[in-house]
A and B are shown apart, each in its own frame.
Chain A
Amino acid sequence: MDVSWSPKPDARRPRSLTAAVYTWVDERLGLEELLALARKKTVPDHQYSFWYYWGGLSLFFFFVQVFSGVLLLVYYRPGAEAYESVREITYDIRFGWLIRSAHSWSANLMVLAVFVHMFSVYFMKAYRKPREFGWWSGMALLALTLLFGFSGYLLPMDDLAYFATKVGLEIPAALPLVGTLMTDIVRGGPEVTETTIQRFFALHVVILPLIYIPILAFHLWLVQKHGNALPPSEEAKPESERRSIPFFPDFFSLDLGMWLIALNVLSILASLYPWQLGPQADPLAPAPVGIHPEWYFMSQFQVLKVFGRWFPGAAGEALGISLFTLAIVVWALIPLYDTRSAGGRRAQIATYFGYFALLGMIVFSIWGYLDLK
């Protein structure tokens, strides 16, 4: 091809200020390389593609948590004044109720998105080679997300927060040998007090983010490295029958569209159903009737309750916790068990185990809510 008559303008002669700035930055940071990479990258397009959005949605809610959390930090005072400062945020500071409500709602939506993401990865068998580390880092992120939820729940120090933390910490306290010692250190003494708030605050805003962010970066790097996994039904198809779309701009804009929907849902929930603040925690007041954990701890709570009924005393609790630990270990090790992409007996057992876990969570959660009455 003869380039001499090409109408393409000389790249070194910028046409506008924007182009000039872009060229200046590009020459130094290599933006074109990144864009080329993004254009080359593709995302599989099939009937289960919808589930690919849930990791991104979890990330979106995490960003909302960081943003709204930093805003809450502006007025929140841990320690003895915790309740008063949250009361001020909720009732005195303009739009404080909205920021707090968005933080609480987004926390719940984040946990939901993380669970949907995990189960969709599980059922698409996206944990198989070479994605085992993606599964394990994801499990770590889930555990940290739940710890974020648990530690953040105490910070307003209203009655629900107080009893939820008190009860929640009794569970690891039931562990043999190290239980009491460990719990006393986390709690800062034998009772939930201002000291506990101070510790949970440090955990919630410094320690957990410090652990979470590098694991998140690792997790995202793995997604970039290995790309989206194909579900077994797609993998069975010959390559010529598989469809895919470019990551940029096609999938990227769909992803942004999902983020926009998530933002709208969050705005509606946060503004129409503002998060409530209960009465200040009083260690001498009895626990409010019908007190129960957040929905994402409900199934575990109910399992322990039921085991406590069947096996009275410490035995029930120990048995319940052991069973949980075992289930989590099996869940984490599934990539080492279900390895063959061709399917077969192990793949089937893994799928049934997934149904069992999902169904168990749903049934015990519903049971838990019914049991409150």
Chain B
Amino acid sequence: MPNAPATSPLAEQASTPTDTTRRTFIALGVGALGACYAGLIGYPVYQYLATPARKAAATGTVTQAVLDGADQLPAGSALMFKFGTAPAMLIHHTDGSWVAFGAVCTHLACTVNYEPEQSRIYCACHGGVYDPKTGANVAGPPPKPLTRYYVEVQDGRVLVSKA
């Protein structure tokens, strides 16, 4: 450029209305096309990565677990089992009553442990304590009680189902 112009060529171009429209149109077109490509690549990649989560969601919709032979569980002990995909516990109390809870701590998802000698359900991660009869959160950080399931003791098996 021999002499610097009073207005920059860019500013001059942008000031003509037709040019602004064309520029905007091209920018929009390229942007839209780019979004299409991103979507066409992103969708399969998302579906690919989401497959295990979707499969787990399908297993997670179960409403009942059948525990063969669990009716023989000695009083004062617990049986860990999978309800859908998540850990759960069946407790046979010394007074003869049966309860089942989701064994996932409502604080930060650690698996809890039944401690009959302390008469509590305890989470080792952050010291959460639940009542072993009701699942109520009684001490420590847990904000909610454990998920409670219905228990039906039958001959040779125990049925655990969602409320």
Contact = CB atoms under 8 A, between A and B. Distances in A.
Interface residues of B, number: 16
Interface in B105-153: none
A95 B4 contact: no
A284 interface: no
A99 B44 contact: yes
Interface string A1-12: 100011110000
Interface string A72-110: 001000000000000000001111101100000000000
B16 interface: no
A71 interface: yes
Nearest to A95: B44
Nearest to B37: A263
B160 to A, nearest CB: 29
Contacts of A1: 3-4
Contact of B49 (A74, A92, A98, A263): A74
A1 B40 CA distance: 52
B47 interface: yes
Q: Most chain-B CB neighbours within 10 Å: which of A71, A74, A95? A: A95
A94 B47 contact: yes
A5 B6 CA distance: 9
A65 B157 CA distance: 53
A62 to B, nearest CB: 17
Contacts of A99: 44-45, 48
Contacts of B48: 71, 74, 93-96, 98-99
Given A95-B44, A98-B44, A8 B51 contact: no
Contacts of B54: 94
A94 B7 contact: no
Interface string A286-326: 00000000000000000000000000000000000000000
